[in-house]
Amino acid sequence: MRIEPIRAAGGRPAHIRHDDDLISAKGVSVVMARQLVLQNIDLAIPKGSFVSLIGPSGCGKSTLLKVLAGLVDPTSGSVSIAGLSPVEAARKRMIGLVFQDANLLPWKNAVDNASMLLGIADKSLSRAQLKARGQEMLELVGLGDSAHKRPHELSGGMRQRVAIARALALDPAVLLMDEPFGALDAITRDSMGQSLLEIWQRTGKTIVLVTHSIDEAIHLSRHVHVLGIKPGRITESLDIGLPYPRDLSVTEDPEFVRLTVQLRTMLRASHQPGGAS
């Protein structure tokens, strides 16, 4: 077990910069269509951590994830991923992305979908190497025997597993996930969360998860950052002290219940528009 960074009393651990922080955002603001979408975001995500971003609709949590991924440029402030800009990090295959929609290619089977991005990122790999890597990743996400199925033969949960395999095939340092289980039913969602925890523990990836599920955030993450609206900003940060490995029985733990209440209170407060800080 790694030792948790010690947080200053009263929260706002985001300002604390540690050497083992893989991702750090400093003073990130984003203006889109004359709207201040994100205001002065400071964020430090330790290597190997599992961090959730939670907040009401329109708080800019997806935009923040896109900034970390290098898909949106911050209007001001900076982001570094292991000392690189997000775009440089992405080109070095350090970032794996998973969205709410699996976005698999319907004309390719599961194994070819899993290796599709890797094939584009690394042109030196042969077809056989790509297939082997795709198969390995499918096995990691529990779909080893569905390699030859086309997306339409897979359930929503299975398609999302392929999307995770596709991201992992790049062997990224960071997995950035934007509501990856948002379109799934509650039971599938729970089992996907549990699988993701197992994958995280086996691979040691740093995971940043955007979610609007309180249970999911507490079940999975080590740190939760709460974002408020108007403008989007980090209002609270919460450390989840529940020991790993966790399974679904963690939801019955009194500490889980206490954290749920605490996070719900924080989220309610985050719905109030804030002034300039």
Q: How far is the CB of 152 from other proteins (least distance, A)?
A: 4
Nearer Cβ to other proteins (71/242)? 71
Nearer Cβ to other proteins (40/206)? 206
Strand partners, 25: 43, 79
Q: How far is the CB of 91 from other proteins (least distance, A)?
A: 5
Q: Quick one: DSSP state of residue 83?
A: T
Q: How far is the CB of 110 from other proteins (least distance, A)?
A: 11
Q: How far is the CB of 6 from other proteins (least distance, A)?
A: 34
Contact 225, 263 (CB under 8 A): no
Nearer Cβ to other proteins (33/120)? 120
Q: Quick one: DSSP state of residue 13?
A: G
Q: How far is the CB of 95 from other proteins (least distance, A)?
A: 6
Contact 175, 22 (CB under 8 A): no
Nearer Cβ to other proteins (187/276)? 187
Nearer Cβ to other proteins (31/121)? 121
Is 229 in a helix, a strand, or coil?
coil
Q: How far is the CB of 102 from other proteins (least distance, A)?
A: 10
**Cα–Cα distance measured from residue 25 to residue 79, given in angstroms and rounded to the nearest whole number:** 4
Contact 110, 147 (CB under 8 A): yes
Nearer Cβ to other proteins (71/84)? 71
Q: How far is the CB of 89 from other proteins (least distance, A)?
A: 10
Judge residue 77's burial from the number of C-beta atoms within 10 Å of its C-beta, 0-12 exposed, 13-18 middle, 19 or more buried: middle
Chain residues binding other proteins by CB under 8 A are 66, 69-71, 90-91, 93, 95, 97, 99, 101, 103, 105-107, 116-117, 120-121, 146, 149-150, 152-158, 166, 170, 183-185, 187-188
**Cα–Cα distance measured from residue 270 to residue 233, given in angstroms and rounded to the nearest whole number:** 9
Least Cα distance to 267 among 227, 238, 223 occurs for 227
| Strand 174-178, strand 95-98: pairing | parallel
Nearer Cβ to other proteins (121/242)? 121
Strand partners, 237: 225
CA distance readout (Å), 30 to 1, 36, 63, 171: 36, 6, 8, 29
Maximum alpha-carbon separation in the chain: 56
Q: How far is the CB of 163 from other proteins (least distance, A)?
A: 9
Nearer Cβ to other proteins (138/263)? 138
